[in-house]
């Protein structure tokens, strides 16, 4: 069997169709609302996703999941399954090979360090207990249902009430301190003339990416090729190499197309089991999780219980800002849901107490889900701010103006760039905020009460270390940029082609961006809203190396002879002297003169030290209008406007789509989404899109987004990252609008109609 | 999914013949519910008898009645001019259900016979008296937000999820069937059973009994009707509570006749006879609507998560009647 794989690369085609005011700018492709370069392939069904590789001799896998939360497998009877038509293998803890535990993120790609199916023990309800390999998907699915498992259950920690008292502080929270205490916040709160002190609760959420988790895996000797739906090809490569005890170079992971990934397209049990099974049957394996499988076997957002207490002085300034609470977690993962992070950077206060704990549960390892921490943390904090504004008889935007810090309130670092108040001003003007009545229940239409709310959105700037980019320039004037990064629908392939075109001063049509393949130079995870900045830093380095090489190639008779990189700039398909701009030579001419067909340069990104020197965050102001039905309690979001301050925008179209997607997820967080977790059994009871309610079209109003686009002076090319900020503040904006409509403060999500009856 | 035999019935008699003596045979409509349940191993039929090509007609009689073949697609009914003119609440009920794609597949027979959406019914690992008689019910003390407030039993608190059936119940529809023992007609409101001790027996139909058509008798005032569905998102969610109602008022505002059925509240589409009786002959006022709702919901019982449905049903019913009475005044 031979498998050949070609990395996917895209050339950008210019198209501004459908975007108002978007005029093509040949010299400056960045910022243009370029249509997605992978769009045509996708609409023609030509984009092949992880489960769409029809390898020769392919076999199909299905999983069977535990039905208890903790204990041991007493017996597995797989006789019937093994005898079923087409079945090649039933993999259980009894016959699986020894597999090393997968390394946890960020060392590896795993959501949990638990060994995978290495003994009879069960750690959560839904843990895979068997995997069937068969000649067809139907045969595998059927046989998986024929496996009979009996258990010796043990008492499991699944009820939040029972573990709350045992909650403890994790060692750190994503490398940050668990507790920040500045001054005596409790004492300051007790003495403050105006106090807000409430508990907010947020439920579990599950990931519902359109593309189910899936892989196609093939061994050739000890070489492994995996098409995986992942947002981390290199970490997946590293993890699989470790688990299967093979060299990293022997593992190739490809993910050119990913049908949505919001933090949990990483390594879970299913890839490891399918790959182990492929080795045992000596044939390639395809595994697509069922929607139920995604809920049972891959983690989502954990539940939180948060206290926000604000003590205000008579002038509205904060004497105390307290944000504490507990999140559910497991003993084998490290996702403490950093909900206190927003309060560390948003507002000035005289004293702070920001600390959070985790309570260990026997659940599927919770993991990252779009703006982990910030999404639910801003719900609590921004609702509390709204409550404080009311208590102070201040407009909520005026309150934010009063609390605007001049440096990071906790670290004391200067802000790299921050225009939150300006974002509020612009948003308020556009939304017509001044027409809102601060008095709840003032507006109605028939059965519907109408209210408006506002909240701050914020998400930190990060940049992952370790990225390497390669640029290949060819004598026909084309450039190819390569990096093992990811396109999950955000627009990476498009905006990076635009960026490279801008950097090299080439028409965007002449640039191809290749990604989604671990055989490319080391990429970074598509997470933390930082892929763009991380790629740009690496591409900048590669471009510098390329210019060094080009200047070495020019020889003695070039207009560029004797110049070094700092003397020159890219200009119209070539290089020119910065001041003496007539001194120009095109790339094509340089390569031709040197007799070279191609020139390749690879370089690592600079160390991401900027975030150590500056407080770097993105901001936004979320404005919304809701209608609450006085008869039924139903809430409908009728208007949305978001005004962002998120650094430079690379592509107006893909950026708007990212913002909107985040806001839509925020509408789900506020109103509809909740994983029903049966606290008697640890079983998830609504593992389907019919019963786990993500917003549908009719739940989503027209969403208007705007941004100031101010480049961040400290980040690569001034970009900060926009993938997650849209969901932050959205829950609070809706809850605050519901208050404005009804006079009811709902501090528990989702705000279903029964909470408003 | 387990392997099964598939047969396509040529006519109703053929369908009955194919089903005769096969307790593990199921009629297949659009499959939007049955096939899902087969994927979950909740239904494990040995034989599927495809009846989608039978009785695809909607016949209108001059007396104002309609006869709808069991194989008619949900979309077709909702789009039918005669349905929309005579029984607008039926079209509204259907359009409020599921999604366009599902309604394009779903048949009348399948919609009537669709099974509950109780989470514990769907989950093989949970106890469920419907799936395994006598096993117990995990919903009673579990997540029961979507469960019944009327007519439930200690054995089962599941609801019937159909929207269409709620409108049909209000319209006094009847169900025509055929089986090995011949043809018969039942009132739709009597077709589904309350759970009692035997929640696994969901309808009065005998095994192998085929629904051939649904008849809707004339109802002059059904033109003034509503179907209001309250749910957890704006579309594509089952009813927490729904109300189908039609109101006939005299010129002086007395209730000449009224039809009310509730959805999402019981093991069957719930014809609100007590509320109707309380209203008939009285004045149509907010107060009388309240009393009627109270009469109907007096025996309603809430569980841990669904008690809100009692108040929700009361409010929705009162609002529907108030809307109809206002509409009538115009
Ligand atoms: C995601 C989702 C959301 C939904 N939302 C809603 C909603 O909001 N409101 C709503 O009302 N419904 C909703 N539905 C349910 C939908 O209405 C039903 O699935 C559909 O009406 C069933 O019709 P069918 O023809 O596909 O039935 P099938 O799935 O083919 O059959 C269902 C049952 O009826 C039996 N049957 C079929 N035809 C006959 C017959 N002629 N005689 C006797 N028995 C028969 C079958 O044996 C089977 O037991 C939803 C479904 C899904 C999947």
| B293 contacts on A by Cβ (under 8 Å) | none
Tell me how crowded residue A18 is: count the other CB atoms within 10 A of its CB: 9
- pLDDT over threshold 70, residue A6: no
Q: What is the pLDDT of residues A644-688, one digit of tens each?
A: 999 999 999 999 999 999 999 999 999 999 999 999 999 999 999
Is B6's Cβ below 8 Å from some Cβ in A?
no
Report the pLDDT value the prediction gives residue A8, as an integer from 0 to 100. 63
Q: Examine domains A50-155+209-297 and A373-385+402-461+612-756 and report if their fold is the same.
A: yes
Q: Binning pLDDT at 50, 70 and 90, where does residue A1 land? A: very low
Report the pLDDT value the prediction gives residue B330, as an integer from 0 to 100. 44
Pair of tokens at residue B302: 């809430």
**Spatial CA neighbour of A383 closest among A449, A339, A337, A436:** A339
Give the span between the Cα atoms of A215 and A515, in whole angstroms: 18
Give the span between the Cα atoms of A282 and A88, in whole angstroms: 10
DSSP structure class, residue A130: E
A interface test, pick of B35, B127, B234 with most A CB neighbours within 10 Å: B234
Is A446's Cβ below 8 Å from some Cβ in B?
no
Cα dihedral: A717, A718, A724, A727 (round 10):
-150
Answer whether B134's CB lies under 8 Å from B124's CB. no
Answer whether A732's CB lies under 8 Å from A378's CB. yes
Residue B206: what are its φ and ψ, rounded to 5°?
-80, 155
- pLDDT over threshold 60, residue A15: no
Pairing mode, if any, of strands A511-515 and A8-11?
antiparallel
**Spatial CA neighbour of A667 closest among A275, A205, A294:** A205
Between the CA of A709 and the centroid of ligand 1 the distance, in Å, is: 51
A501-to-A253, A469, A598, B106 alpha-carbon distances in Å: 27, 15, 17, 52
Considering chain B, what percentage of its residues have pLDDT values greater than 70? 99
Answer whether A132's CB lies under 8 Å from A147's CB. yes
Q: How many residues does chain A have?
A: 757
B326: exposed, middle or buried (Cβ count in 10 Å: 0-12, 13-18, 19+): exposed
Q: Which residues contact B273 (CB under 8 A, 6 or more apart)?
A: none
Mean pLDDT, residues A356-371 taken together? 98
| A680 contacts on B by Cβ (under 8 Å) | 138, 141-142
* Residue of chain A nearest B125, judged by CA positions: A67
Instruction: Specify the ligand 1 atom closest to the Cα of B43.
Output: 49
- pLDDT over threshold 80, residue A20: no
Half-sphere exposure of A235 (CA within 13 A, CB side): 28
Report the pLDDT value the prediction gives residue A14, as an integer from 0 to 100. 47
Q: List alpha helices for A432-530, DSSP H.
A: 492-504
A interface test, pick of B99, B101, B123, B307 with most A CB neighbours within 10 Å: B123
Report the pLDDT value the prediction gives residue A534, as an integer from 0 to 100. 97
Report the pLDDT value the prediction gives residue B21, as an integer from 0 to 100. 86
Give the span between the Cα atoms of A376 and A14, in whole angstroms: 39
Output helix, strand, coil percentages for chain A, rounded to the nearest 5. Answer: 30, 25, 45
* Beta-carbon separation of A698 and B234 below 8 A: yes
Answer yes or no: is the C-beta of B168 below 6 A from any ligand 1 atom: no
Helix A269-281 to helix A233-244 angle (10° resolution) is 50
Pick the residue whose CA is nearest to atom 28 on ligand 1.
Answer: B31
Answer yes or no: is the C-beta of B111 below 6 A from any ligand 1 atom: yes
DSSP line for B93-144: HHHTSS-HHHHHH-BHHHHHHPPP--HHHH-TTS--TTTSTTS--SSTTS--
With residue A275 as reference, give the H or E element that holds it.
helix A269-281
Report the pLDDT value the prediction gives residue A2, as an integer from 0 to 100. 39
With residue B247 as reference, give the H or E element that holds it.
strand B241-249
Best probe residue, ligand 1, of B1, B27, B159, B211 (max atoms within 8 Å of C-beta): B27
Cis peptide bond N-terminal to A750, omega within 30:
yes
Q: Which of A32, A625, A673, A724 is catalytic?
A: A724
Q: Binning pLDDT at 50, 70 and 90, where does residue B153 land? A: very high
Mean pLDDT, residues A698-720 taken together? 97
In chain A, domain spans: 50-155+209-297, 373-385+402-461+612-756, 464-607
Q: What is the pLDDT of residues B290-299, one digit of tens each?
A: 999 999 999 9
Q: What is the pLDDT of residues B248-288, one digit of tens each?
A: 999 999 999 999 999 999 999 999 999 999 999 999 999 99
Pair of tokens at residue A10: 């895209």
Is A748's Cβ below 8 Å from some Cβ in B?
no
Q: What is the pLDDT of residues B27-47, one digit of tens each?
A: 999 999 999 999 999 999 999
Q: Give domain B226-329's CATH superfamily.
A: CO dehydrogenase flavoprotein, C-terminal domain (3.30.390.50)
DSSP structure class, residue A28: -
Pair of tokens at residue A582: 């007539």
Report the pLDDT value the prediction gives residue A7, as an integer from 0 to 100. 57
Q: What is the pTM for the complete model shown?
A: 0.97
* Beta-carbon separation of A678 and B315 below 8 A: no
Give the span between the Cα atoms of A365 and A328, in whole angstroms: 10
**Spatial CA neighbour of B244 closest among B147, B317, B155:** B317
Mean pLDDT, residues A488-517 taken together? 96
Strand-pairing partners, residue B203, are B192
Answer yes or no: is the C-beta of B210 below 6 A from any ligand 1 atom: yes
Answer yes or no: is the C-beta of B76 below 6 A from any ligand 1 atom: no
Instruction: Specify the ligand 1 atom closest to the Cα of B107.
Output: 25
Helix, coil or strand: residue A115: coil
Q: Binning pLDDT at 50, 70 and 90, where does residue B328 land? A: low
Give the span between the Cα atoms of B25 and B4, in whole angstroms: 9
Q: Binning pLDDT at 50, 70 and 90, where does residue A4 land? A: very low
Q: Which residues contact A430 (CB under 8 A, 6 or more apart)?
A: A641, A643, A704, A706
**Spatial CA neighbour of A327 closest among A167, A550, A534:** A167
DSSP structure class, residue A515: E
Give the span between the Cα atoms of A275 and A226, in whole angstroms: 8
Lowest mean pLDDT among A202-216, A540-554, B10-24: B10-24
Report the pLDDT value the prediction gives residue A138, as an integer from 0 to 100. 95
Distance from the Cα of A67 to chain B's closest Cα (Å) equals 6
Considering chain A, what percentage of its residues have pLDDT values greater than 70? 97
Cis peptide bond N-terminal to A106, omega within 30:
yes
CATH number belonging to domain A50-155+209-297:
3.30.365.10
DSSP structure class, residue A672: I
Strand-pairing partners, residue B230, are B241
Is B322's Cβ below 8 Å from some Cβ in A?
no
DSSP structure class, residue A283: S
- pLDDT over threshold 70, residue A16: no
Give the span between the Cα atoms of B15 and A406, in whole angstroms: 79
CATH class (in words) of the domain with range A464-607: alpha beta
Q: Binning pLDDT at 50, 70 and 90, where does residue A26 land? A: low
DSSP structure class, residue A320: E
For A376-402, what is the HEC assignment?
A: HHHHHHHHHHHHHHHHCCCCHHHHHHH
Facing residue for B233 by CB, picked from A632, A685, A693: A693
Is B308's Cβ below 8 Å from some Cβ in A?
yes
Question: Would you call A724 a catalytic residue per the annotation?
Answer: yes
Q: What is the pLDDT of residues A586-637, one digit of tens each?
A: 999 999 999 999 999 999 999 999 999 999 999 999 999 999 999 999 999 9
Between the CA of B202 and the centroid of ligand 1 the distance, in Å, is: 14
**Spatial CA neighbour of A270 closest among A133, A142, A368:** A133
Pick the residue whose CA is nearest to atom 13 on ligand 1.
Answer: B98
Is B298's Cβ below 8 Å from some Cβ in A?
no
Q: What is the pLDDT of residues A51-76, one digit of tens each?
A: 999 999 999 999 999 999 999 999 99
DSSP structure class, residue A433: G
| B235 contacts on A by Cβ (under 8 Å) | 696-699
Answer yes or no: is the C-beta of B255 below 6 A from any ligand 1 atom: no
Answer yes or no: is the C-beta of B269 below 6 A from any ligand 1 atom: no
Choose which CATH entry (3.40.190.10, 3.30.365.10, 3.40.630.10, 3.30.70.1350) describes domain A373-385+402-461+612-756.
Answer: 3.30.365.10
Residues in A 684-743 with any Cβ partner in B closer than 8 A: 685-686, 690-691, 693, 695-699
Is B143's Cβ below 8 Å from some Cβ in A?
yes
Is B182's Cβ below 8 Å from some Cβ in A?
no
In the block, tokens 């028409």 appear at A507
Lowest mean pLDDT among A32-41, A449-458, A470-479, A728-737: A32-41
Give the span between the Cα atoms of A620 and A647, in whole angstroms: 11
Is the backbone of residue A536 left (phi > 0), alpha (psi -120 to 50) or beta?
A: alpha
Report the pLDDT value the prediction gives residue A201, as an integer from 0 to 100. 98
| B234 contacts on A by Cβ (under 8 Å) | 636, 696, 698-699
Mean pLDDT, residues B176-197 taken together? 97
- pLDDT over threshold 60, residue A435: yes
A358-to-A278, A669, B17, B149 alpha-carbon distances in Å: 38, 21, 62, 38
Q: What is the pLDDT of residues A197-241, one digit of tens each?
A: 999 999 999 999 999 999 999 999 999 999 999 999 999 999 999
Give the span between the Cα atoms of A475 and B221, in whole angstroms: 81
Pick the residue whose CA is nearest to atom 8 on ligand 1.
Answer: B97
Note the CATH architecture for domain B5-52. 2-Layer Sandwich (3.30)
Average pLDDT, chain A: 95
Give the span between the Cα atoms of A532 and A605, in whole angstroms: 12
Pair of tokens at residue B15: 């369908």
Instruction: Specify the ligand 1 atom closest to the Cα of B111.
Output: 21
In the block, tokens 């635009």 appear at A498
Give the span between the Cα atoms of A213 and A235, in whole angstroms: 17
Give the span between the Cα atoms of A306 and A321, in whole angstroms: 13
Pair of tokens at residue A8: 């996917």
* Residue of chain A nearest B235, judged by CA positions: A698
In chain B, domain spans: 5-52, 226-329
* Beta-carbon separation of B2 and A145 below 8 A: yes
Give the span between the Cα atoms of A239 and A102, in whole angstroms: 6
Helix, coil or strand: residue B322: helix
Pair of tokens at residue B45: 């039929």
Instruction: Specify the ligand 1 atom closest to the Cα of B164.
Output: 11
What's the CA angle centered on B308, arms B307 and B312, to 5 degrees?
130
Answer yes or no: is the C-beta of B107 below 6 A from any ligand 1 atom: yes
Is the backbone of residue A393 left (phi > 0), alpha (psi -120 to 50) or beta?
A: left
Pair of tokens at residue B285: 């006022």
Tell me how crowded residue B134 is: count the other CB atoms within 10 A of its CB: 9
Mean pLDDT, residues A744-755 taken together? 98
- pLDDT over threshold 70, residue B314: yes
Give the span between the Cα atoms of A631 and A447, in whole angstroms: 7
Between the CA of A688 and the centroid of ligand 1 the distance, in Å, is: 17
Pair of tokens at residue A594: 């040197």
């Amino acid at each position: 069997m031979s498998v050949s794989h070609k990395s996917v690369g895209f050339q950008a085609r210019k198209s501004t169709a459908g975007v108002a005011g978007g005029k093509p700018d040949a010299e400056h492709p960045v910022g243009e609302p370029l249509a997605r370069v992978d769009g045509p392939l996708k609409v023609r069904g030509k984009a092949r996703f992880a489960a769409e590789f029809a390898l020769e001799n392919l076999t199909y896998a299905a999983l069977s999941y535990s039905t208890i939360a903790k204990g041991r497998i007493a017996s597995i009877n797989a006789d019937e399954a093994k005898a079923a038509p087409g079945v090649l293998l039933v993999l259980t803890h009894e016959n699986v090979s020894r597999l090393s535990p997968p390394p946890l993120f960020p060392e590896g790609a795993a959501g949990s360090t638990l060994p995978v199916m290495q003994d009879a023990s069960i750690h959560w309800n839904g843990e895979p207990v068997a995997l069937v390999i068969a000649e067809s998907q139907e045969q595998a699915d059927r046989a998986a249902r024929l496996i009979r498992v009996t258990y010796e259950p043990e008492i499991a920690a699944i009820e939040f009430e029972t573990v709350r008292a045992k909650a403890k502080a994790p060692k750190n929270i994503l490398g940050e301190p668990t507790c920040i205490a500045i001054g005596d916040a409790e004492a300051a709160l007790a003495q403050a003339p105006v106090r807000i002190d409430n508990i907010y609760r947020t439920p579990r959420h599950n990931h519902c990416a359109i593309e189910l988790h899936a892989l196609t895996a093939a061994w050739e000797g000890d070489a492994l090729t995996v098409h995986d739906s992942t947002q981390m090809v290199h970490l997946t490569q590293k993890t699989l190499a470790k688990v299967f005890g093979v060299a990293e170079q022997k593992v190739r992971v490809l993910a050119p197309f990913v049908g949505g990934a919001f933090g949990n397209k990483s390594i879970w049990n299913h890839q490891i089991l399918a790959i182990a099974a492929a080795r045992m049957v000596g044939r390639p394996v395809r595994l697509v999780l069922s929607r139920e499988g995604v809920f049972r076997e891959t983690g989502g957002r954990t539940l939180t219980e948060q206290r926000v207490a604000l003590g205000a002085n008579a002038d509205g300034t904060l004497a105390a800002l307290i944000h504490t609470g507990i999140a559910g977690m497991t003993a084998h993962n490290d996702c403490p849901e950093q909900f206190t992070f927003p309060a560390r950077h948003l507002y000035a206060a005289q004293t702070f107490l920001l600390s959070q704990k985790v309570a260990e549960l026997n659940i599927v390892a919770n993991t990252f889900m779009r703006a982990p921490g910030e999404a639910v943390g801003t719900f609590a904090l921004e609702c509390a701010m709204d409550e404080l504004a009311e208590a102070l008889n201040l407009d909520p935007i005026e309150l934010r103006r009063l609390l605007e810090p001049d440096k990071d309130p906790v670290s004391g670092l200067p802000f790299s760039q921050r225009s939150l108040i300006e974002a509020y001003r612009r948003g308020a003007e556009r939304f017509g905020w001044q027409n809102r009545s601060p008095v709840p229940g003032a507006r109605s239409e028939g059965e519907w009460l109408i209210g408006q709310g506002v909240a701050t959105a914020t998400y930190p700037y990060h940049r992952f270390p370790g990225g390497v980019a390669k640029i290949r320039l060819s004598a026909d004037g084309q450039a190819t940029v390569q990096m093992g990064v990811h396109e999950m629908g955000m627009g990476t392939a498009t905006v990076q082609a635009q960026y490279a075109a801008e950097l090299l001063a080439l028409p965007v049509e002449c640039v191809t961006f290749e990604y989604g393949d671990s055989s490319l130079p080391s990429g970074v995870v598509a997470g933390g809203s930082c892929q763009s900045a991380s790629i740009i830093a690496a591409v900048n380095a590669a471009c510098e190396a390329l210019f060094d090489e080009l200047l070495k190639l020019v020889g003695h008779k070039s207009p560029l002879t004797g110049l070094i990189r700092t003397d020159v700039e890219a200009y119209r398909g070539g290089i020119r002297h910065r001041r003496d701009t007539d001194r120009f030579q095109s790339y094509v001419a340089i390569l031709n003169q040197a007799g070279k067909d191609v020139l390749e340069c690879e370089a690592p990104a600079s160390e991401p030290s900027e975030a150590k020197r500056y407080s770097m965050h993105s901001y936004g102001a979320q404005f919304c209008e809701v209608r609450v039905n006085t008869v039924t309690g139903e809430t409908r979001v009728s208007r949305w406007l978001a005004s962002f301050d998120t650094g430079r925008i690379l592509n107006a179209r893909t950026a708007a789509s990212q913002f909107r997607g985040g806001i839509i997820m925020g509408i789900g967080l506020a109103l509809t989404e909740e994983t029903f977790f049966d606290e008697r059994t640890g079983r998830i009871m609504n593992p389907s899109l019919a019963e786990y309610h993500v917003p549908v079209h009719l739940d989503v109003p027209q969403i208007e987004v705007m941004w100031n686009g101010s480049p961040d002076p400290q980040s690569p090319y001034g970009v900060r990252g926009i993938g997650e900020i849209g969901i932050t503040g959205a829950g609070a904006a809706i809850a605050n609008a519901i208050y404005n409509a009804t006079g009811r403060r709902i501090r528990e999500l989702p705000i279903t109609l029964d909470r408003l009856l | 999914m387990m392997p099964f035999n598939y047969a396509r019935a040529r006519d109703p008699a053929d369908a009955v013949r194919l089903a005769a003596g096969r307790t593990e045979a199921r009629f297949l409509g659009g499959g939007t519910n049955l096939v899902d349940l087969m994927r979950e191993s909740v239904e494990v039929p040995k034989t599927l008898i495809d009846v989608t090509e039978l009785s695809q007609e909607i016949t209108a009689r001059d007396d104002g009645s309609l006869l709808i073949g069991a194989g008619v697609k949900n979309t077709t009914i909702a789009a039918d001019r005669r349905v929309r003119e005579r029984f607008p609440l039926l079209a509204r009920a259907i359009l409020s259900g599921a999604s366009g794609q599902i309604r394009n597949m779903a048949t009348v027979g399948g919609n009537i016979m669709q099974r509950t959406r109780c989470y514990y019914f769907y989950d093989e690992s949970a106890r469920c008296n419907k799936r395994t008689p006598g096993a117990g019910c995990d919903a009673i003390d579990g997540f029961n937000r979507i469960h019944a407030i009327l007519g439930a039993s200690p054995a089962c608190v599941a609801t019937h999820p159909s929207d269409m059936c709620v409108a049909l119940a209000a319209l006094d529809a009847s169900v025509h069937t055929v089986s090995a023992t011949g043809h018969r007609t039942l009132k739709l409101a009597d077709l589904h059973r309350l759970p009692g001790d035997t929640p696994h027996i969901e309808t009065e139909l005998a095994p192998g009994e085929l629904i051939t058509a649904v008849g809707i008798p004339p109802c002059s005032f059904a033109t003034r009707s509503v179907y209001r569905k309250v749910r957890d998102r704006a579309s594509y969610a089952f009813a927490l509570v729904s109300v189908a109602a039609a109101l006939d008022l005299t010129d002086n505002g007395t209730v000449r006749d009224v039809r009310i059925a509730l959805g999402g509240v019981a093991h069957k589409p719930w014809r609100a006879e007590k509320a109707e009786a309380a209203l008939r002959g009285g004045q149509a006022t907010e107060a009388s609507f309240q009393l009627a709702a109270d009469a109907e919901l007096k025996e309603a019982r809430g569980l841990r998560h669904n008690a809100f449905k009692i108040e929700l049903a009361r409010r929705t019913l009162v609002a529907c009647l108030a809307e109809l009475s206002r509409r009538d005044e115009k």
